[in-house]
Amino acid sequence: MKDPRLLGRAVRRIVYDPETIARRTRELGEEITKYYSDGDVVVLGLLKGSFIFLSDLVREIRRPLHVDFLVASSYGNEMVSSGTVRLLYDPETVLEGKHILLVEDIIDSGRTLSRLYDLLSARKPRSLEICALLHKHIATELKVPARFVGFDAPNEFLVGYGLDHAENFRHIPFIASLQ
Ligand code: IMP
Ligand code: MG
């Protein structure tokens, strides 16, 4: 497929097209709306990967909410477990007593989320749930299951709709496999 956004790289196939993503995001918005019947909801996006998904998702949630973001330090794949995750940007919002919905682009090993989960739990939220657009279901380190999942993704390297490869391809409106 030739596309000027793809740096001359061929994508193997489109895994989720914009219509499929929009339809599923709408369903997730409905599920989330039903799930939170009362209380304050903070939708916390994990940057950068969740930025497009989060912006579409919050527009499908029909209840009051606040939006904030987290930037976690990236250790790369060879990261040795130190038991902690460092936040490069820490949300301004007070999380205590609130429903926190942590939004992630994709769950791979589950390492990032497990650590964030511990860190955020320590702030005594009323509830803490995970919403991931994509889940590879190969996570061995995920202590807490994601309550809301967009798609069960193939175990391939995916880009687009926020997901990057070396910071490229985040702006592509569909999700493609690079392999
Ligand atoms: P985990 O900690 O191994 O679950 O890694 C999650 C993070 O790795 C995601 O937030 C993504 O930034 C990145 N990642 C994992 N798989 C992919 C992929 O297929 N494409 C792009 N980024 C990915
Ligand atoms: Mg990345």
Report d(CA 168, CA 6) in Å as an integer.
8
At residue 35, the pLDDT reads 98
Longest dimension (CA), the chain: 50
pLDDT digits (tens, 9 = 90+) for 110-147: 888 888 898 899 999 999 999 999 999 886 667 788 99
108 lines ligand 1 (CB under 6 A): yes
Task: Report the helix count and the strand count for the chain, using DSSP H and E.
Answer: 3, 9
- 89 against 146, higher pLDDT: 146
- The ligand placed nearest to the CA atom of residue 175 is 1
CB 133 within 8 A of CB 104: yes
| Least confident stretch, 1-15, 60-74, 128-142, 144-158 | 1-15
Alpha helices, DSSP H, located in 62-126? 111-121
Cβ atoms < 10 Å from Cβ of 120 = 19
* 82-95 average pLDDT score: 75
| E strands in the chain | 13-16, 41-47, 66-72, 87-89, 99-107, 127-135, 148-152, 158-159, 175-177
Q: Which residues contact 122 (CB under 8 A, 6 or more apart)?
A: none
pLDDT-based confidence at 77, cuts 50/70/90? very low
Note residues around ion ligand 2 (Cβ under 5 angstroms).
164
Q: What percent of the chain has pLDDT over 90?
A: 66
Query: pTM to 2 decimals?
Result: 0.91
Rounded distance from Cα 108 to ligand 1 centre (Å): 5
pLDDT digits (tens, 9 = 90+) for 30-48: 999 999 999 999 999 999 9
At residue 33, the pLDDT reads 98
108 is an active site residue: yes
**Angle 51-58/18-35 helices, nearest 10 degrees?**
60
* 65-73 average pLDDT score: 92
Catalytic residue from among 17, 40, 68, 108? 108
